[in-house]
């Protein structure tokens, strides 16, 4: 007969593999659907070559626009690089004390306080920058749209997930409140000219869910939401977010705590560049 710790570890490992396969299937579905839509748009004449052909038929010298476009791209690249050098602002007075008081209050009303390390972490990109020992996601994303028609689009959603677990000692309602800090810089540039129309989107979200015998239902909060047309911005993010949900649980059966960061990027223009 297998000992209990070994069989429990095997069960945990198998359940995590199920979760991972489920996530990968969902990401593959999203990628396939995106490609299907791209094919539809190309069939309607939104490729670089087709757009340039339309300009030529209108009497516009495309070669001149291409030369001007290249010069503009270099200028915008330099400007965006300077925007990206944003430094963190001075620490706000009482910020650490506020977070500590929130955590202390939560601890006083809780039966347990879970600290990192996280049990596992995965995502659909290598840029998640996991530090499981500290329960960190260090995500970095750079996108540049460059082209003339639909092919001037750079987009996609990046997912990074951390997994924590808890064994309830008794049956009943379990309240879970993750405390998540966000720090980092954001720079978005979308530049128009007389023959262009640019659009840039950047959205960062935190997703939270619980699982014991079933998923409780994902809770989501938006951290960054940028929609830019012919404008630019750069700033430092320093936020502390607390989410909360409860789940009816049975005793001594593992509860999985899933925290996911999703980073959605759209960089579309016709035919100028946008950068994120």
Q: Which residues pair with 234 in a beta bridge?
A: 187
Write down the pTM of the prediction.
Answer: 0.78
Cβ neighbours of residue 50 closer than 8 Å, sequence gap 6 or more: 149
Pairwise pLDDT comparison (224 vs 90), residue with the higher score: 224
Work out how many domains the chain is built from and give that number: 1
Q: What is the pLDDT of residue 164?
A: 92
- Judged on CB neighbours under 10 Å (0-12, 13-18, 19+), 69 is buried
Distance CA 263, CA 139 (A): 9
Q: What is the mean pLDDT of residues 99-117?
A: 59
Band of residue 197 on the pLDDT scale cut at 50, 70, 90: low
Q: 18-22, 162-166, 199-203, 235-239: which range is least confident on average?
A: 199-203
Q: What is the pLDDT of residue 85?
A: 79
Distance CA 215, CA 195 (A): 49
Distance CA 48, CA 243 (A): 44
Is the pLDDT assigned to residue 272 strictly greater than 50? no
Quick check: 114 and 167 in contact, CB under 8 A?
A: no
Nearest C-alpha neighbor of 205 from the set 174, 168, 173, 241: 241
Pairwise pLDDT comparison (63 vs 122), residue with the higher score: 122
Domain residues for the domain of 177 are 4-275
Q: What is the pLDDT of residue 114?
A: 67
């Amino acid at each position: 007969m297998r000992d209990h710790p070994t069989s429990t570890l095997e069960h945990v490992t198998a359940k995590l593999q199920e979760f991972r396969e489920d996530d990968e299937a969902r990401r593959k579905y999203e990628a396939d659907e995106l490609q299907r839509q791209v094919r539809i748009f190309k069939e309607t004449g939104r490729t670089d070559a087709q757009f340039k052909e339309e300009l030529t038929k209108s009497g516009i010298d495309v070669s001149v626009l291409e030369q001007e476009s290249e010069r503009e791209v270099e200028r915008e690249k330099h400007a965006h690089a300077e925007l990206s050098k944003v430094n963190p602002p001075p620490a706000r007075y009482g910020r650490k004390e506020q977070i500590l008081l929130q955590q202390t209050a939560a601890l006083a009303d809780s039966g347990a306080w879970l600290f990192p390390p996280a049990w596992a972490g995965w995502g659909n990109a290598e840029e998640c920058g996991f530090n499981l020992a500290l329960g960190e996601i260090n995500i970095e994303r750079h996108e540049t749209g460059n082209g003339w028609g639909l092919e001037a689009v750079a987009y996609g959603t990046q997912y990074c997930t951390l997994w924590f677990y808890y064994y309830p000692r008794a049956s009943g309602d379990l309240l879970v409140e993750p405390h998540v800090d966000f720090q980092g810089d954001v720079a978005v540039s979308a530049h128009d000219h007389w023959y262009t129309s640019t659009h840039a989107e950047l959205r960062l979200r935190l997703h939270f869910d619980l699982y014991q015998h079933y998923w409780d239902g994902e809770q989501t909060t938006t951290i960054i939401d940028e929609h830019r047309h012919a404008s630019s911005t750069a700033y430092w993010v320093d936020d502390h977010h607390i989410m909360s949900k409860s789940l009816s649980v049975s005793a001594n059966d593992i509860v999985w705590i899933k925290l996911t960061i999703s980073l959605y990027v759209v960089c579309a223009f016709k035919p100028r560049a946008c950068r994120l």
